[in-house]
Amino acid sequence: MNDSGAVLTVGSHGKKKLSRIRPWVMLVTPLVAILFQVYVPLYIPLLQHLELPLLVTLYFGIARRSPIGGALIGAGIGLVQDSLSYQPIGILGIVKTLIGYTAASLGVRLDTGHQAVRFTLGALFFLVHQLLYGALRQVLLGAPSGLDLLPTLAAALANGVVAIPLFYLLDRLKEDR
Amino acid sequence: MGSLLTRYRSLSFLLLLLLAQLILVAYQVKTSQDVRLLRLWTVGSVTPMARLLDSLNARASLFVKDYFLLVGVRQQNRRLVSEADRLKMENQFLRSELATADRARTLGLFQARTPSRTVAARVISTGAGATPKVVFVDRGSTAGVRAGMAVINADGVVGKVTAAYPAAAQVLLITDPNFAAGVISARNRVQGTLKGVSSSTCKVDYLQNEEKVDVGEWFYTSGEDRIFPRGLPVGQVKSVASGATFKEVMLSPSGVTRGLEEVLIVLEGVHQTLSEAEAAQPGSAPLLPVPPDEQPQAPVAVPGSSAPVVGTDADRLVDQYRKAAESRGRGYGDTPLPAKTPPVKP
């Protein structure tokens, strides 16, 4: 991985190719994810458990494989989410910074092109996200964590499932080099 | 040191980024001040898009309904619905004409009340986070909305405005754990503090275990918080259990159970007056005065005394004893103690 954003990926047939995330995708995707999160649950309340900004952070982290880039993207998305919520700015920023950094560090070591890996990452990182978020709220703000085990587990599975087509779609938006 | 930072460049950067955000959070918690500029930019850029999406969605659904689904039937249905509404209103009017004296008294009470001044608003987006407990409405400070104003709908209390931006306002929903409002039960008249919990329920806190609350009983706003006018329906009791210190009363909030589309923001509550608190906090909604039946009682004047008696029960009792002593020609507290106290039996 270099700073221009080019990444070496291994295709389904074992072919290696160099691809790059387009700059507009880096800008538009987080915005769409946040808009989805603030608008769609108004009509389909069940979708409020879908953490698209987290999945986008995760994708950019593992695709770019740059821990610094991942942390920056995570911080940016988290801070925007914080601005739209009723809590001090920085809570979701800290959580997503850690997620972005960890995802990028894992992206170097794992074959993140495999769908089972993507499902696991989506579900696992959602759980980590919720746990960190609840813990930070409790420790820094003294607020209740609001974590319910079963709904959180169900939401983690749902996020894992959604991660597969979302990552596939974002893969299609990459440009080959 | 420099080589260490270069060697662990990513980790150092991560720690720096986390530290910066921690300081930001600490600053906001310590000073209770918000980073308003950042919020203003974000809300200013997100809400127009949400509004655009909302408008596109409304137009698209209207288009589909009007052009692809039986235009005539839809118009006829609309006419019949409005006719049914008119008939319902007529029926209601005739019923009210035939109502009993109790009904007339209730109507009189309603008439005596000054109606709150409200502004209608449409919910255009929810807050961020996995389980958002805030929504954004399309009315902001330009429409007179200010932080701290009550938000209601026909079914009951919805929440309160936590931040007002020029063209939008953030509303903290009744189900948020940070939400609190004074409530009173309809049947047993017990008062407590309503708080949100993580799911779509609320709890009434600070009710003594001895106080009586029934399942199915309605709770209304008490007006004690001086934000919500007294008498707005809040919700129905789902479960009651005795707790370690306080009773655990769970409510099903009536204002948010059927989903949120349109709400009313109370610009001017009933009996609202300008208070010193408003002058101290410019930009925030003024607090309502204490509800009428909670106003402190006027001091009781003592005959023959220039100073009025402070209106506590103990003071009134002392005053009663003083009067009794004076009627017997003695001063209060002049009665000598018995010479010998009776022996205490083991």
List, for residues A74-84, the tens digit of each pLDDT value.
999 999 999 88
Residue B87's DSSP bridge partners are: none
pLDDT at B134 over 70: yes
Q: Of B61, B78, B108, which residue constitutes the final position of a domain? A: B108
Full-model pTM:
0.61
- The Cβ of residue B103 has, within 10 Å, a number of other Cβ atoms equal to 13
Are residues B275 and B128 both part of a single domain? yes
**B187, B285: one domain:** yes
A93 lies within 8 A of chain B by CB = yes
User: Is B13 a domain residue?
Assistant: no
Tell me if B226 is assigned to some domain: yes
**Residue A141 resides in a domain:** yes
Q: Is A29 a domain residue?
A: yes
- Residue B288 above 70 pLDDT? no
pLDDT of residue B115: 61
Whether residue A152 is contained in a domain is answered as yes
Mean pLDDT, range B248-268, rounded to an integer: 83
State the total domains in chain A: 1
Domain membership of residue B225 (yes or no) is: yes
Range of lowest pLDDT (B28-32, B314-318, B321-325): B314-318
Helices H / strands E in chain B, number of each: 7, 12
pLDDT for res A155:
93
Last residue of a domain, one of B73, B108, B143: B108
Same domain? For B232 and B138 the reply is yes
B314 in a structural domain: no
Query: Which pLDDT score, from 0 to 100, does residue B329 have?
Result: 72
* pLDDT for B280 beyond 60: no
Task: Please state, in angstroms and rounded to a whole number, the distance separating the CA atoms of residues B21 and A67.
Answer: 17
Query: Smallest Cβ distance to A86: which of B13, B54, B178?
Result: B178
Print the domain residue range for B126.
Answer: 117-290
User: Which residue has tokens 């813990």?
Assistant: A135
pLDDT, position A72: 94
Residue labelled with tokens 């794992």: A110
CB-CB: which of A48, A71, A147 is closest to B14?
A: A71
Closest CA to B254 of B155, B181, B151: B155
Same domain, B123 and B102: no
- What number is the average pLDDT over the span B28-36? 81
For residue A122, which of A166, A79, A81 has the smallest C-alpha distance?
A166
Which range among A127-131, B63-67, B117-121 shows the weakest confidence by mean pLDDT?
B63-67
The answer as to whether B336 is a domain residue is no
Provide the domain count of chain B. Answer: 2
Question: Residue B237: which CATH number?
Answer: 2.40.10.340
Do B42 and B172 share a structural domain? no
Shared-domain flag, residues B190 and B248: yes
Q: CA–CA separation, A107 vs A70, rounded Å?
A: 10
DSSP, collapsed to helix, strand or coil, labels residue A3 as coil
In a domain, B42, yes or no: yes
Q: Which of A59-73, B41-55, B143-157, B284-298 is least confident?
A: B284-298
What is the spatial distance between Cα B110 and Cα B113, in angstroms, rounded to a whole number?
Answer: 5
Q: Is residue A78 part of a domain?
A: yes
Chain A residues lying within 8 Å of B43, measured CB to CB? 83-84
Query: Which residues in chain A are contacts of B49 at CB distance < 8 A?
Result: 35
Residue A84 lies in a domain: yes
Q: At what angle do helices A149-172 and A115-136 cross, to 10 degrees?
A: 130
The answer to whether residues B206 and B246 touch, using CB atoms and an 8 Å cutoff, is yes
Same domain, B79 and B129: no
B94 and B162 share a domain?
Answer: no
- The structure tokens listed for B115 are 């109606």
| Same domain as B186, residue B84 | no
- The upper half-sphere exposure of residue B266, i.e. CA atoms within 13 Å in the direction of its Cβ, equals 30
CA torsion sign for A14, A17, A22, A26 is positive
DSSP A78-133: HHHHHHTSSS-TTHHHHHHHHHHHHHHHHHHHS-TTSHHHHHHHHHHHHHHHHHHH
> The complex's ipTM?
0.83
Q: Does any domain span residue A5?
A: no
Strand B233-241, strand B248-253: pairing: antiparallel
- Residue bearing the bigger pLDDT, B199 or B247: B247
State residue B302's pLDDT score: 42
Distance CA(B226)–CA(B231), nearest Å, equals 12
The residue segments making up the domain with residue A42 are: 22-176
Each residue's pLDDT tens digit, B103-117: 345 434 433 444 677
Instruction: State the Cα–Cα distance between residues B319 and B79, nearest whole angstrom.
Output: 71
Tally of CB atoms within 10 A around A72:
18
Q: Indicate if B94 and B210 belong to the same structural domain.
A: no
- Is the pLDDT at A39 greater than 70? The verdict is yes
Residues of chain B found within 8 Å of residue A86, distances taken between Cβ atoms:
127, 133-134, 162, 170, 172, 176, 178
Q: Checking phi first, is residue B312 left (phi over 0); if not, alpha (psi -120 to 50) or beta?
A: beta
**A97 and B38: CB-CB below 8 Å?**
no
Nearest alpha carbon to residue B134 among A86, A63, A82: A86
Mean pLDDT in residue range B29-52: 82
Nearest CA to B182 out of B107, B99, B75, B291 is that of B291
Which stretches of chain B are assigned E, i.e. beta strand? 117-126, 134-137, 150-153, 156-164, 169-173, 180-185, 191-196, 202-205, 218-221, 233-241, 248-253, 262-268
State the pLDDT at residue B254: 86
On average, the pLDDT of chain B sits at 75
Chain B contacts in chain A segment 55-84 (CB below 8 A): 67-68, 71-72, 75, 79-84
The string of pLDDT tens digits covering residues B188-200 is 888 899 988 866 7
A window 111-150, beta carbon within 8 A of B: 129-130, 133, 140-141, 143-144, 146-148
CB B156 within 8 A of CB B220: no
A98 within domain boundaries: yes
Q: Return the H-helix or E-strand segment holding A175.
A: strand A175-176
Question: Chain B interface, mutation test: which of A47, A49, A86, most B Cβ atoms within 10 Å?
Answer: A86
Q: Helix A23-39 to helix A52-64 angle, to the nearest 10 degrees? A: 160
- Whole-number Å distance between alpha carbons of A170 and A63: 10
Q: At what angle do helices A52-64 and A91-109 cross, to 10 degrees?
A: 40
pLDDT band at A71 (very low <50, low <70, confident <90, very high): very high
Q: Which residues does residue B83 pair with via DSSP β-bridges, in sequence order?
A: none
Burial (CB count <10 Å: 0-12, 13-18, 19+), residue B264: middle
Tell me whether residue B317 is in a domain. Answer: no
* Residue B274 pLDDT class (50, 70, 90 cuts): very low
> Are residues B90 and B236 located together in one domain of the fold?
no
Instruction: Tell me the average pLDDT across B271-286.
Output: 41
Are residues B131 and B227 located together in one domain of the fold?
A: yes
CA distance B94 to A89: 56
Residue A108 contacts B, CB cutoff 8 Å: no
The amino acid present at A105, given as its one-letter code, is S
In a domain, B170, yes or no: yes
Residue B315 confidence (pLDDT)? 65
Asked if A45 and B56 count as a contact pair (C-beta separation under 8 A), the reply is no
Instruction: Spell out the residues 6+ positions from residue A155 whose beta carbon is closer than 8 angstroms to its own.
Output: A49, A50, A51, A126, A130, B130
